[in-house]
Structure 1
Amino acid sequence: MIVKKTVSFVLRLVFVAVCLLYALCDINTEAFKLAASHGDWLAMLGSVQFQDFDKLRQAFVQFDSTAIVVTTLLSFLGYAVMALRMNFLSGYDCGNWVGLKSFLLSMAVNNVAPAKLGELAKCFYLRRQCGYSLGQTISMVFWERFFDLNAILAMGLVVAFHFKLKMAFFPLAVGVGSIWACLFVVRKWPALADRVIAVIPVERLREFIIEVKLQLVHGVTLRYLIVLMIYTALVWLLYAIPTFLTVLWVAGLKLTMGQTLAVFILSALGMAMPSSPGAVGVFEAAVIFGLGLFKVDKELALAIGFLIHMMQYIPTTLTGLLVLARSGLSLKSIRHSEEAMDEAEESAQA
């Protein structure tokens, strides 16, 4: 388990470092290749130059301050729909206020801790506030995140076909399709699922699958899936609005709706990937890459990416940490709980 975590940490560290290098620096590729061919490390370093921060400052100065305030306030509408969706996933039991606080808590923990620890924090918070089992809370978060993946895939396929990048989202399509296939098997042949569950040695995974199976057999109907799809569509519509407003209004870029959608989807993928706390560096690199496809200057693209990120990061972190402080939980207790569950899994597998 220690080796697995170490490898995971190193891979994330390298990925974040590459993204930061891409976001903050310009590389003279020809000079870099030439220096690398001669093994000249000093020349290789010399081919890497930081961005022009004076241009970056000028980009921020030119942004419309009124548009920034309006865009930031509108982002809170998305948080409200997140709360409605979580309340729906609880069977309208946890309430919208607890649903909102669980979302803010998870965002804050993800923003200050690595490896998407916020999802586990949300499970513990809902368990503490509502008395749910851990399997039930993990199941709720699973449906939330799974439908988010479906939303990213749907938008990604639209962009991929529009820009003739049909294979770009193929791995995600395979992953999402595989999950749907597993859910279909569990729903269609519950007895077979019971036999598979019985041989799973990991208690946390077994408890989660049992909860999902019970939902699939007794609670998940076509109406349930349609309502969840509508909530998810609203979540992502409102989540996209700040990006669209920042690109088209705050920065005043003359991009089409399709081009802006492509930038948003790439930024969403950057935010969703396990990397640094709050996807710092990765999110900005994704925005720069997306805007770079449409010939936007790198300094301006970095300013836009940083602004969008801060409009998301600062409000959710401040309010979420306040929820965390009042919840009786702590980052230390959440991390220790995760380690304890990992140790239990390791013992079961042994």
Structure 2
Amino acid sequence: MRQKALSITFQIVILAACFFYLSIGINWPDLGRTFALYSWFKIIGVLAVTIPIYALMGIRLQQLTHGGVSTPTGIRGSLLAIGINNILPARLGEVAKAIYFKQKTVLGFSQSMGIIFLERFLDINILAVTGLITAMVFGLGLYGLPLTAAVLICWGLLVIMIRRMPVEGVELTFIPSDKLRYFIKKSSIAIGHTLKGNTILKPFLSTVFIWACSFLYLALIPLWLMDLHLTAAQILAIYAAVYLGLTIPGLPGGIGMTEGAIVAILSWNNIPKTEALAIALTIRAFNFLPPTLLGLSVFMTSGMSLQSLKPQTEDPF
């Protein structure tokens, strides 16, 4: 209980520090005029670019599960996860997604979590490359190396696991909890089934296309919607700040920290702070409002409840 209280206090302090940093040195009337000049046509155009991103997420899930999750169900599950993660802490969206797939597909909770782990792992591969490129472009030295090293180590462990894992899955007898052992066993089977042979290649290509579309989507916001003249390096900085910030657990959707990172790195690149904050808040609006509303609509029509996202006394697997 004390550890949880300390964690919450730390998050509140970080959030307060980010909001304080974002609030100083801002020309608020100019910020308001920037938002007032947005074209509804361009807003709809930017939103349209997100459609292939969600479609590719569904396709990737269909590929990872060999058809166990259909593309439409994968899209709905992905929107559900994004929506929940935007409003609740601790990445509860991933849990909601697994529960949703348990309800709507032949997959169990543990199998779904195994597939979701592979989703996130493929995403982290792209984030590692993004971190390395960003570090090289901005002369940040070894900034991107730790994440890349962690990804390579994970690939090595996965290869070892697949080669040595029995058909019935990984059995960790030293774990005292029967539920946790069962969860690991079923998750490992799902991961092993997906990674065998060349079946990971298609999901990996889908992941590359997802992040390429995400880069285009983020670039359109300052360059087209806001009609700003940013360099490719500055767009890359925004991209890295947005998505690397989302990998940090704790605050829902990386709120505060993501905006702080965008403003800090753009200010460092000689972008006026008011302009940088306008970019950060506009990206937040696009990343929060549409997917959260769609995700909550999936949640409300799924028969799930907030209680189902909490630790359960019955076997959820």
TM over 0.5, shorter chain = yes
The one-character-per-residue Cα deviations of 1:123-180 (angstroms, maximum 9, x if unpaired) are 1110111142221011011000011111100122112122222311233223222322
Matched residues, percent identical?
28
Say yes or no: does 1:81 pair with 2:80. no
Show the counterpart of 1:252: 227
The alignment yields a C-alpha RMSD, in angstroms, of: 2.5
Counterpart code for 1:306: L
Moved more, 83-92 or 193-202: 193-202
Say yes or no: does 1:316 pair with 2:291. yes
Q: So what's the TM-score if we normalise by structure 1?
A: 0.82
Show the counterpart of 1:281: 256
Structure 1 portions without partners, runs of 5+: 27-50, 345-350
Show the counterpart of 1:41: none
Q: Looking at secondary structure, tell me which structure has more helix per residue.
A: 1
Question: How far apart, CA to CA, are the structure 2 residues paired with 1:301 and 1:275?
Answer: 24
Question: How far apart, CA to CA, are the structure 2 residues paired with 1:307 and 1:110?
Answer: 19
Question: How far apart, CA to CA, are the structure 2 residues paired with 1:165 and 1:244?
Answer: 22
CA contact (8 A) 2:170 2:185 kept: no
Show the counterpart of 1:190: 165
- The 1:181–1:14 alpha-carbon spacing in structure 2 relative to 1, beyond 3 Å, is farther
Show the counterpart of 2:17: 18
Counterpart code for 1:269: L
Cα deviation, residue 215, structure 1? 4.4
Aligned pairs for 1:57-136 (under 5 A) are 57-136=32-111
Say yes or no: does 1:3 pair with 2:26. no
CA contact (8 A) 1:153 1:173 kept: yes
Counterpart code for 1:122: K
The structure that has the greater radius of gyration is: 1
Question: How far apart, CA to CA, are the structure 2 residues paired with 1:285 and 1:114?
Answer: 18
Show the counterpart of 2:282: 307
CA contact (8 A) 1:135 1:204 kept: no
Question: How far apart, CA to CA, are the structure 2 residues paired with 1:217 and 1:326?
Answer: 32
Show the counterpart of 1:172: 147
Counterpart code for 1:236: W
CA contact (8 A) 2:194 2:200 kept: no
Show the counterpart of 2:210: 235
Counterpart code for 1:20: F
CA contact (8 A) 1:139 1:208 kept: no
CA contact (8 A) 2:115 2:191 kept: no
CA contact (8 A) 1:64 1:250 kept: yes
The one-character-per-residue Cα deviations of 1:64-120 (angstroms, maximum 9, x if unpaired) are 443222112211221111111112222112211111110111111112211211111
Question: How far apart, CA to CA, are the structure 1 residues paired with 2:10 and 2:176?
Answer: 28
* Alignment: residue pair count: 315
CA contact (8 A) 1:262 1:290 kept: yes
- The 1:212–1:332 alpha-carbon spacing in structure 2 relative to 1, beyond 3 Å, is closer
Cα deviation, residue 18, structure 1? 2.1
